[in-house]
Amino acid sequence: MGTEIIFVRHGETAGNLDGRLHGRTDLPLTERGRLQAQRVAERLAGLTDIGALYSSPLQRARATAETIGRRLSLTPTLHDDLMELNFGDMEGHTLQELRQKHPDLYARLMDSRDLDAGFPNGETRREFHARVARALDALRELYAGSRLVIVSHLMVIGSGLAQLLTGDPNRWDEFLVANCSVTHLEIAPSGAVALHCWNDISHLDQTTEATGWTLPS
């Protein structure tokens, strides 16, 4: 029997609306973000045999996970390695601001081959992807043959999907996910990965529609 992982991205924050780099900035959910969390909790309430619920400790993820946990009768386990990328001194910048104010850094970050590109006083790409891999490897081993829900962040989920599905973490931007979307995959004992659904927001309505995210051209 394979291990099933259901990834949920946290609900909307003000930083999502502004398109700002808020990795470790501990923002709360907006009112719409709280409604999104309720909708995704209702979606997951129909599932059975959920072995565990894990979450980033940042409040936007934790609040989403707690809302889900109330419907599943599970208490979220907080895991530091599920936190968003640490943008360091660039926290609060938009990508456009980063490109204008720090063009050399921006150019390095846009080069997916540069694993040692990183944010001053934050993380490098290599460190971040290794952290995500460490978290997922540990949870896969701990819950082998089970189903678990992981509530985390845009780049964590993107990196995890890219690593599991392609072996290349720098393809994370091919796996962007919206707020309170559901992504469901299954990892066979052989290591083969089946993606059952990706970035599913069918449970959200017009009042709670997920906030999108795109790279600047």
- Averaged pLDDT score across all residues of the chain: 94
* pLDDT (0 to 100) of residue 217: 28
Q: Are 98 and 21 in contact (CB under 8 A)?
A: yes
Q: Are 130 and 138 in contact (CB under 8 A)?
A: no
Largest CA distance in the chain: 51
For the beta sheet containing 77-78, the strands, ordered from the edge strand earlier in sequence to the opposite edge, are: 77-78, 50-55, 147-152, 3-9, 182-187, 193-200
Respond yes or no: is residue 209 known to be catalytic.
no
At 96-119, the pLDDT tens digits run 999 999 999 999 998 988 999 999
Residue 94 DSSP symbol: B
* pLDDT (0 to 100) of residue 206: 73
Beta-bridged to residue 9, according to DSSP, are 152
Respond yes or no: is residue 91 known to be catalytic.
no
At 150-196, the pLDDT tens digits run 999 999 999 999 999 999 998 999 999 999 999 999 999 999 999 99
Phi then psi for residue 118, to 5 deg, are: -160, -175
Mean pLDDT of 36-65: 96
214 pLDDT more than 70 = no
At 18-29, the pLDDT tens digits run 899 999 999 999
* pLDDT (0 to 100) of residue 215: 45
How is the chain split into domains, by residue range?
A: 8-46+80-145+158-208
* pLDDT (0 to 100) of residue 48: 82
Task: Spell out the long-range contacts of 189-193 with Cβ–Cβ below 8 A and sequence spacing 24 or more.
Answer: 189/1, 189/2, 189/144, 193/164, 193/165
pLDDT confidence bin for 210, thresholds 50/70/90: low
Mean pLDDT of 128-132: 98
Residue 138: how many other CB atoms lie within 10 Å: 12
pLDDT confidence bin for 197, thresholds 50/70/90: very high
- Among 4, 12, 66, 84, the active-site one is 84
pLDDT confidence bin for 1, thresholds 50/70/90: confident
Which CATH architecture fits 8-46+80-145+158-208? 3-Layer(aba) Sandwich (3.40)
